[in-house]
Chains A and B, each alone.
Chain A
Amino acid sequence: AQTIHQWPVAEIKAVGSPLSLGCTIKGKSSPNLYWYWQATGGTLQQLFYSITVGQVESVVQLNLSASRPKDDQFILSTEKLLLSHSGFYLCAWSLVGSAETLYFGSGTRLTVL
């Protein structure tokens, strides 16, 4: 069975500080990977997607970056956090070639002060 693990569960960070969020998928070879962001009380928005190791496509510009250093790992980061980065970050995966059904992780709650 596939498992998706996100870390950390929650972060409280200062404006201007760096950030790194991670996601690991086990039990599925070469999945498509995605980062979504949910503003507090709001809907979800896709930030990045990756179809293969080393390749990441940006969907919206939010002063964030993403990398896929390994087949089963997806990292979201920034060197300088903004207040507007607060929210809930969700990693998701899907089968290659059947990209519509996304399976989400449990998310990371980020509070920027």
Chain B
Amino acid sequence: GEKVEQHESTLSVREGDSAVINCTYTDTASSYFPWYKQEAGKGLHFVIDIRSNVDRKQSQRLIVLLDKKAKRFSLHITATQPEDSAIYFCAASTGANTGKLTFGHGTILRVHP
């Protein structure tokens, strides 16, 4: 089955700098790649996604890149703010109507002043 590896377990950046979280996947049939944010003790909050028909998507300070050849995708958070501090999960899906997302293990992002 699909495996998603999230490369950074923790990431510490200074406020205003950029943060980059990298993920790789194994199943070439995966076509949908969402990112979720989890604050301490809370549920997952959807932040941005990308589908396999594009290689870049931006929403305000968030940019997602997809390299299908390398089976790699990444989340770039620009101009980081302290409220960006959280655990970020990447995930992959083949798009079947089962809602099955294969998640990475999460990256703890700390943005310090």
Contacts and interface: CB of A to CB of B under 8 A. Distances in A.
Q: Dominant SS at the B interface? A: loop
A20 interface: no
Q: Dominant SS at the A interface? A: strand
A13 interface: no
State which size class the interface on B falls in. 20 to 34
State which size class the interface on A falls in. 20 to 34
B104 A101 contact: no
B89 A90 contact: no
Given A42-B105, A92-B99, A107 B42 contact: yes
A57 interface: yes
Interface of A: 6, 32, 34, 42-46, 49, 51, 57, 59, 90, 92, 94, 96-97, 99-107, 109
7 contacts: A32-B99, A43-B89, A46-B99, A49-B99, A57-B98, A100-B32, A102-B99
